[in-house]
Amino acid sequence: MGLIGNICGFAGYYNHSRGKYDKALKWYEKAEQMDVSNPNFQMAYGVLLMREGNFEKAINIFNKILIFFPRKEKVKINAKINLSMAYWKTGDMDAAIDRITEMHEKLKNTRTYETLGYFLVEKGDNEEALKFNLEALDYDDTDAVILDNLGQTYYRMGDTDNALTYFKKALEEKDDLLDALYHVGVIHQERRQTEEAREYYEKALDCNITKLSTISRETIEAKLAELS
């Protein structure tokens, strides 16, 4: 059964990597039914489920990985980080922060700094978020997401000058970073710089926006409508 499940899992991964998401989901589902034993295929399935907005099912997949592959350290790390993101998307911010904090305390790396930094921004404790995201900046001052997290922190604190500085630094590292493009647009709009705001909103709309994105296409379109 495991062999057939892995063959189906490979077929899912093949289609997944080529952007054929509907086909990939069908193969991943068959793989699950046939007791797939390769955790990488299961992980990819969970990530695709999140991309499609099926976060509850993704949580089940990631928990299953943690139960059956507790000694595969790299697999466990990725599963816990993805699990925290799935909890965030279901609205359970406390569970999301607990999972990623546990991971961060054991293994500090760029991805844990990115994820926990963003969750702290979303939690709304600006002082805590600022302290952590400044620590993250010391860890890696060229990572686009870390720079964006710091920009969002300053924006929520009302410091739009510092926010703009870090958003633009983030865009120097990754020019299609959705959050940074959107927030630069918002700041320009607040400053009544209409054409600059429109430019950044339109660039944001060109990004790959999925159910896992932090900004929705509808939110950006609503902001563009306000400019009209």
24-49 confidence digits (pLDDT tens): 999 999 999 998 989 999 999 999 99
pTM (2 decimals)? Answer: 0.87
* CATH class of residue range 1-84: mainly alpha
Whether 172 and 152 have beta carbons less than 8 Å apart is answered as no
Domain boundaries, the chain: 1-84
Which ranges in the chain belong to alpha helices (H)?
Answer: 2-17, 21-33, 39-51, 55-68, 73-89, 93-106, 110-123, 126-139, 144-156, 160-173, 178-190, 194-205, 217-227
52-94 confidence digits (pLDDT tens): 999 999 999 999 999 988 778 888 888 999 999 999 999 999 9
Q: Which of 151, 87, 91, 139 is nearest to 112 (CA)?
A: 139
121-172 confidence digits (pLDDT tens): 999 999 999 999 999 999 999 999 999 999 999 999 999 999 999 999 999 9
